[in-house]
């Protein structure tokens, strides 16, 4: 009968222990044989592993998006076209600029070979209120007036100052202007200015302004063809383009008029 002996501290079911190897003493190209390695890659919160070649979303968002050349051209055409339409609407319905072709409004507005002032005309003024005495207005050339040119351009519009309104009686005599029998104060004229009708062949002008018209004259009374000379005398209010209110040229005299 053979006796079986058990060595103290050992378990018959356990396999023999592997011998421990000493740690490496020199550089190594990889972990020791049999050692477990841990990856530094962190999986996304949803547990999905990105496909190969998939770009990070932050990298994609950080890249500037460059519009195509065709898109840029279309945008610029739209901007320029819109600006032209706005400018056309403003010129047609609101404001327009005119240059002074003659000396008839001097010294208020200059118009001679050495200088032609430019003014802005408000086309909306007389849609909001009636014509007022003293206003400087631009109007279409009255019927019967001869064609003329200035600066190589045909003159189609005149610019004068409103002196008398519909229904008023204007009298010009003794070098002064009277409206309904009262001498008209004209602070815009240089001191000593003489107003008479002789420039148009009349010694005295006595005229009642018809309904729907106004009587106009230039500030340069000795060199202005105006209601003293027009065949129709007064001009129709419907022929008025608008009220001149701003001088834009020359820049040294920029401002209201």
Catalytic residues: 104, 160
Closest to 154 measured CA to CA, from 146, 166, 144, 162 = 146
DSSP designation for 103: S
| Percentage helix, strand, coil for the chain under 3-state DSSP, each rounded to 5 | 15, 25, 60
Q: Give the number of residues written for the chain.
A: 257
Are the C-beta atoms of residues 178 and 172 closer than 8 Å to each other? yes
Cβ neighbours of residue 241 closer than 8 Å, sequence gap 6 or more: 96, 121, 123, 137, 138, 139, 140, 157
Q: Which residues of 234-257 are buried (b: 16+ CB within 10 A; e: fewer)?
A: bbebebbbbbbeebeeeeeeeeeb
């Amino acid at each position: 009968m053979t006796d079986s002996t058990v060595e103290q501290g050992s378990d018959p079911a356990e396999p023999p222990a592997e011998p421990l190897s000493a740690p490496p003493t020199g550089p190594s190209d990889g972990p020791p044989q049999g050692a477990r390695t841990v990856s530094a890659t962190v999986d996304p919160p949803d547990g999905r592993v990105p496909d190969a070649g998939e770009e990070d979303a932050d990298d994609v968002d950080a890249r500037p998006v460059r519009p195509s050349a065709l898109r840029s051209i279309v945008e610029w055409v739209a901007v320029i076209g819109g600006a032209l339409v706005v400018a056309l609407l403003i010129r047609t319905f609101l404001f327009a600029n005119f240059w002074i072709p003659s000396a008839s409004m001097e010294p208020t507005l200059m118009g001679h070979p050495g200088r032609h002032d430019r003014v802005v005309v408000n086309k909306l003024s007389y849609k909001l209120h009636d014509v007022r005495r003293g206003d400087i207005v631009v109007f279409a050339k009255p019927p019967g007036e001869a064609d003329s040119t200035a600066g190589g351009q045909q003159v189609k519009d005149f610019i004068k100052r409103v002196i008398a309104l519909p229904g008023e009686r204007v009298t010009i005599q003794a070098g002064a202007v009277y409206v309904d029998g009262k001498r008209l104060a004209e602070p815009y004229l240089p001191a000593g200015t003489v107003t008479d009708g002789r420039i148009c062949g009349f010694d005295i002008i006595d005229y009642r302004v018809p309904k729907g018209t106004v009587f106009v004259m230039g500030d340069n009374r000795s060199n202005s063809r105006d209601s003293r000379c027009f065949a129709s005398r007064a001009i129709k209010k419907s022929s008025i383009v608008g009220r001149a209110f701003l001088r834009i040229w020359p820049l040294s005299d920029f401002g209201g008029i």
